[in-house]
Structure 1
Amino acid sequence: MAKFTFNMPDIGEGIAEAEIVQWHKQVGDQISEDEEFVDMMTDKATVPMESPVNGKILEIAGGEGDMVSIGSMLVVIEVEGEVPEDVVEEAAAETEAAPGSAPAPKDEAVEERIEVENSDASDADDALAADPKPEPLPAPTPAPEPVQHAKVLATPAVRKRAKDLGVDLAQVKPAEDGRVRHGDLDQFLSYNAGYGAAASPRADEEKKVIGMRRRIAENMAASKRNIPHFSYVEECDVTDLEVLRAQLNSNRGDKPKLTILPLLITAICKTLPDFPMINARYDDEAGVVTRHGAVNLGMAAQTDAGLMVPVIRNAQAQNLWQLANEISRLAEAARNGTATSEEMQGGTLTVTSLGPLGGVATTPVINRPEVAIIGPNRIIERPMYVTGSDGVERIEKRKLMNISISCDHRVVDGWDAASFVQALKRLLETPALILID
């Protein structure tokens, strides 16, 4: 028998550590070559780790949510015979620190495990037996004693009905002779609608904040802590835009169905050349603002793991149908966890939309180090005064949508943000201009 130590490999991006998101194997489990045993998360993406050998897991680095440094032990596997030399060499090469990454902490125990130890089965069993026993868990806090009430007079049938409804009979006032009857219970319920649900609350639940949820929490906290946000909201009449969208969809053939998002993105890309301060990234440590020519548009997508922001590359060079395809592809990749690291970084501006849940107005948080984020809100129908071509003002039913924008006040002035949104509004309210090159 031999023990093989799989150390946390260098997976690029200049990272020094990664977070344990989910173990697929535990101590004592058998594992096959190329089988995934843990998901590790960096600042950019979740990366599954695969075993290079067959064997039995003897030791793991920690629990979900723990951080593991590059080069540190991730898992120890017991294998039959000796570990192939090429596996040892490949593992050593993968754990070499990338340029700019922090060196792994030196720990004598870790250094000893880096070497492949050949031993017989009895040695492995002795080593396992010698491991210190885990500290016992603290005794659970005893539940508080229930409040004692005076004896309530009621028939067994009334008591059973009250129990099924979740009603405390001590709170029901009897009408006569101190005995609670069905009529008293009915009257209590009529004045306390929904009492049963309120009297039996769902048990509290503690959930550790790890993985994508933790990354979101850290990024949002950093954005609000470091960026002086300001938001601006404007109302747009998108009646004609919706007519144009319906016309395009009715003649789309085998092309994807258009939502309003591709039209909005096209309008944004046409507006940005006059407002380069919006399509920018701010390196606050270096004190440098980079105004980008290409529009690499981040698209906020809700997933089971939390909000993810895949990036549409060179959005300004794509037509409506190409944008619709890319929006669908990236949203699906984000939801099923197949989005690559490259697809999740490098954005220069973000659009976040809640669709029909968009509300009247939003104040979205900037996706740092970008300097702006745009949030289209829900489309609603409302009567408006409209001046016709004959110069007569009349009331018409129109489709209205608010556009929200949040900006980094260190590099974007309020005048710039308002002027950008007003220019964007002109395109949305005259949608033929969106299709003109």
Structure 2
Amino acid sequence: MGEHVIKLPDVGEGVAEAELVEWHVKVGDLVREDTVLAAVMTDKATVEIPSPVDGEILWLGAEIGDTVAIGSPIVRLKVAGEGNVKNTSPGESGADGIPAGASHGDRLPPAQNAAPSSSGLSRGSAGSPEPAASHPRRSADPRDKPKDDGVKKDRAIPSLSGAPRAEGEKPLASPAVRLRAKEAGIDLRQVPGSGPAGRISHEDIDAFLARGPQVARAGLARKDGVEDIKVVGLRRKIAEKMALAKSRIPHITYVEEIDVTALEELRTTLNREKRADRPKLTLLPFLMRAMVKAIGEQPNLNALFDDDAGIIHRHEGVHIGIAAQTPNGLVVPVVKHAEARDLWDSAAEVNRLADAAKAGTASREELSGSTITITSLGAMGGVATTPVINYPEVAIVGVNKMMVRPVWDGTQFIPRKMMNLSSSFDHRVIDGWDAAVFVQRIKALLETPALIFVE
């Protein structure tokens, strides 16, 4: 019998580290070759780590949410052959600094203020782990609670504390008191009792009723539980990106309503007459073509702002990010070179990228490189929004929901299909006037959609 250490492999894309987002195994599990052990995330791409050998899991080298350097040990297995770890005595360190005694589910101890170690593990700004000791111990963690011994040590006696009883705890009261509480719609679990062992009396009912509107009635018991959810993986990356954008970019938001009645008529006609091999057109391809034409007149909108260097990187190619909600969270697949795509090509590419994003198979290249972004909540788009710019871009165009509204044509009110665009701009780079001109140009193109096709 021997031991085999699995290191975090090079997942490609030139990255030096990855975040552990999921364990598929636990200590003691028997695994076969190619069994998926863990999932790690680089930027917005998730990569599964398979086992190269059969064996039993002895040790897991990281916690969910840890950042692990490429080449760092993450799993230790007991294998039938010699393995790839030299024999070590108890107390000595094995390969890559993994303690020989770490074979019973121990993990590397997180150090809050230690200097970086060769293990490559880190906890964001909390620092890197301590060098592995011969008897690793996990640091104190609020999640590590003593096992319940059957005694409710934290349950207060109502007669002393006045606190409501825990769910499932039967209150003590006479039949007359219970009948009165039932007729008054009072949940006796919410009534502090002043008698022996918290027994509830009529006086306690009177005092409870005197407390007024804050009284909890039967069926409306208060809930005080708090669930702690660790922010990891894609959600953490979204949080970091949003915080960066809002802290560094002074946003200006411009909202304009657009009459899309003619556009909807054209879209319906094109979908009815389209070839069978062409995708169904939505609003997005028309908006993309309108943005490309407007950017041709205002190229500063198609740019990235390096605020550290004080340089605006203005791009000739228009690479439009399409913010998409997926089961795992918000991602932004990118339609590259939108300036070279017609309506049908744009629609096909949007559909392809949306499918890949929802399936979690979009590559890093497909999720990066945008120069301007569209965000849309579809039918849930609301009347107006304040979209957050996809840093370091300088503009984002938000699509709100379409509604039929009465519009005065000079002689009468007529029903028109109206939609708002809510667009945000980096005010360091784009002045309010320029933002308005850009949106007004898009408005003109969408309200007279034939202009979209005029070169």
TM-score by length of structure 1 reads 0.78
Instruction: Report the Cα offset of residue 143 of structure 1.
Output: 4.6
CA deviation after TM superposition for structure 1 residue 114, in Å: 3.4
Which position in structure 2 is the counterpart of 1:204? 226
Q: Superposition pairs for residues 303-382 of structure 1, below 5 Å?
A: 303-382=326-405
Deviations 1:376-429 (A, max 9, x none): 111111111125xxxxx3321111111111111121111111110000000011
1:24 — aligned with what? 24
- Compared CA separation, residues 394 and 226, structure 1 to 2 (3 A): same
How far apart are 1:144 and its partner, in Å? 5.0
Aligned to 2:71: 71
Matched, 1:384 2:384: no
Partner letter of residue 68 of structure 1?
Answer: V
CA deviation after TM superposition for structure 1 residue 327, in Å? 1.8
Amino acid at match of 1:220: M
SS at match of 1:221: helix
Shift of 1:156: 6.3
Matched, 1:142 2:154: yes
Output the CA distance in 2 between the equivalents of 1:266 and 1:81. Answer: 62
Q: Which residue of 2 aligns with 1:227?
A: 249
Q: Return the offset for 1:338.
A: 0.9
Note the C-alpha offset of 1:308.
0.8
- The structure in which a higher percent of residues are helix is 1
Matched, 1:243 2:265: yes
**How many residues are paired up?**
391
Cα distance between partner residues in 2 of 1:6 and 1:264: 49
- Summarize the alignment of residues 18-417 of structure 1 with structure 2, pairs less than 5 Å apart: 18-83=18-83, 112-114=94-96, 131-132=135-136, 137-139=144-146, 142-146=154-158, 147=162, 154=176, 198-201=220-223, 203-254=225-276, 255-387=278-410, 393-417=411-435
Any gaps of 5 or more consecutive residues in structure 2? 107-133, 165-171, 193-201, 204-212
Greater relative CO, 1 or 2 (CA 8 Å, sep 6+)? 1
Cα distance in 2 between the residues matched to 1:259 and 1:134: 54
Matched with 2:123 is none
Q: Is the 8 A contact 2:26 2:60 kept in 1?
A: yes
1:152–1:233 distance in 2 versus 1, CA, 3 Å: farther
Moved more, 298-307 or 198-207: 198-207
1:399 is paired with a residue whose SS is strand
1:109 & 1:408 partners in 2: Cα distance? 57
Contact 1:5 1:116 (8 Å CA) reproduced: no
TM-score, normalized by length of structure 2?
0.75
Conserved? CA contact 1:371–1:407, under 8 Å: yes
Q: Percent identity?
A: 45
Structure 2 Cα separation of the partners of residues 73 and 399 of structure 1 = 59
Distance apart, 1:332 and its partner CA: 1.9
Task: Work out the CA distance in 2 between the residues paired with 1:220 and 1:284.
Answer: 16
Once residues 125 and 409 of structure 1 are traced to their aligned partners in structure 2, the CA distance between those partners, rounded to angstroms, is 57
Rounded Cα–Cα distance in structure 2 between residues aligned with 1:84 and 1:60? 16
Question: Deviation at 1:15?
Answer: 3.4
Q: Distance in 2 between matches of 1:22 and 1:300?
A: 25
Q: CA RMSD, aligned part only? A: 3.8
The answer on whether the counterparts of 1:2 and 1:116 sit within 8 Å (CA) in structure 2 is no
Q: 1:127 to 1:30 in 2, by over 3 A?
A: closer
Q: Matches of 2:286 and 2:104 in 1, distance apart?
A: 68
Deviations 1:217-255 (A, max 9, x none): 011001111111111111111111111111112222423
CA distance in 2, matches of 1:229, 1:302: 23
Contact preservation (8 Å) 2:404, 2:417: yes
Q: How far off its partner does 1:277 sit?
A: 1.0
Structure 1 residue 8: deviation in Å?
2.2
Decide whether the 8 Å contact of 1:3 with 1:116 is kept in 2.
no
Deviation at 1:325, TM superposition (A): 2.1
Q: What is the CA–CA distance in structure 2 between the aligned matches of 1:340 and 1:154, rounded to whole Å? A: 69
Please state whether the residue corresponding to 2:262 is helix, strand or coil. Answer: helix
Shift of 1:168: 6.2
- Aligned residue for 1:378, secondary structure, equals strand
Q: How far, CA to CA, are the matches of 1:394 and 1:436 in structure 2?
A: 32
The alignment partner of 1:277 has SS state of helix
